[in-house]
Structure 1
Amino acid sequence: MTGQLVKAMLTTTDAGAAAINFQFNPTELQFQRSVSLNRSKGARTDTGIPKVAFAYPEPVSLSLSNLTFDTYETGTSVLTLIDPIIKATDFAGSLGRPPVYVFAWGQTQYLKCFVKNVSYKLTMFLADGTPVRAIVDMSLEEVDSTQL
């Protein structure tokens, strides 16, 4: 199998927001989707199960875990690489909302989304305290861009 390595990324056209490039591709993509229900209080079926009415589908969420960023060889701060991810939860410019991204990898556009949650650990430091390795977890949530 031969071919050129293609990196996963989050692209955006929102002013004031930067694209998010992953230094190393994710090892897995974890999607989640659920349906909201309206449960009737006290109403039961003949078998005793609560009666439900299907309300609406929840947006798709995508979790990316253990994303590694490393600048040990260059000796520069890894914070420069993860700063766009950290800022992805900030409200962009005058939009009054966080930026909207498209998560794509190769030819597949998986999700139009916003970054709902970010957590990161700094796991390696130079002798002077410069952080040179980070592990990032993030969750993305689907948006309907026609409603923005």
Structure 2
Amino acid sequence: MTLVKATLIGIDGGENIKFMFNPTEITFSRTISLEQPPGAQTDKGENKVSFKHPNPYSLKISNIIFDTYEEGTSVLNYITKLKAAVEFSKSGEGQSKRPPIYLFTWGDTSYLRCFVKTLTFKLTMFLDNGTPVRASVDLDLEQVESSTPLASMKTPNLSPEQRAAFNRDEFLESKPSKKKP
């Protein structure tokens, strides 16, 4: 059986990042946003809670090892791709607007469409000349939805003539107005 490497596949604006060694664990988390208005209490004196919405999933991968000791080259060549993941995209739809979007996969499983929210790395081994040859990396990934809106969410693409045929109230109701003589 062939060992399959965990990978961050660049979907929009990022290069693929293949892990040198697979993670030993991945941790998922998700929270619910709450609203607790000050002073609002139940009949029993407990704070009232309003549930707003679920937040995106987060995925934490700790202690990802990159090691170039046997090659004698700098491990920073691998870290450079990870550093680019926490900068704004240089290409794609999100160019200069947001970080690159990735799909975190491992084997046949696609875990999360995401961006790299946090990158932490430690250089842990050096050659005699100071070249870093081993790094330990922690990544926090955060889920993002597809940028393609659902058909019902698309903004209508109207020609100037179509726009002239609508007044504001009727436009919001999606009914054409009758032109006044």
TM-score (norm. length: structure 1): 0.92
**82-91 or 40-49, larger mean C-alpha shift:** 40-49
Paired amino acid for 2:118 = N
SS at match of 2:147: helix
SS at match of 1:6: coil
Distance across 1 between alignment mates of 2:104 and 2:32: 23
Distance across 2 between alignment mates of 1:126 and 1:142: 38
Give the match for residue 97 of structure 1: 98
Give the match for residue 74 of structure 1: 71
Residue 12 of structure 1 deviates from its aligned partner by 1.3
Residues 1-148 of structure 1: matches in 2 within 5 Å?
Answer: 3-15=1-13, 17-93=14-90, 95=95, 96-146=97-147
Paired amino acid for 2:82 = I
* Length, aligned pairs only: 145
SS at match of 2:112: strand
Identity among equivalent positions (%) equals: 53
Residue 147 of structure 1 deviates from its aligned partner by 6.1
Unaligned runs of 5+ in 2: 150-181
Distance across 2 between alignment mates of 1:60 and 1:79: 29
Deviations 1:82-103 (A, max 9, x none): 2111110111125211100000
Unaligned runs of 5+ in 1: none
Distance across 2 between alignment mates of 1:35 and 1:89: 25
With a CA cutoff of 8 Å and minimum separation of 6, indicate the structure with the bigger relative contact order. Answer: 1
Paired amino acid for 1:125 = F
Residue 50 of structure 1 deviates from its aligned partner by 0.8
Distance across 1 between alignment mates of 2:51 and 2:39: 17
Residues 11 and 103, structure 2, Cα contact 8 Å, conserved in 1 = no
TM-score (norm. length: structure 2): 0.76
Q: Identify, as 1 or 2, the structure richer in helix.
A: 2
Distance across 2 between alignment mates of 1:33 and 1:40: 22
Deviations 1:123-144 (A, max 9, x none): 1000111100000111000011
Instruction: Mark the structure with the bigger radius of gyration.
Output: 2
Distance across 2 between alignment mates of 1:9 and 1:129: 29
Residue 107 of structure 1 deviates from its aligned partner by 1.1
Residues 58 and 141, structure 2, Cα contact 8 Å, conserved in 1 = yes
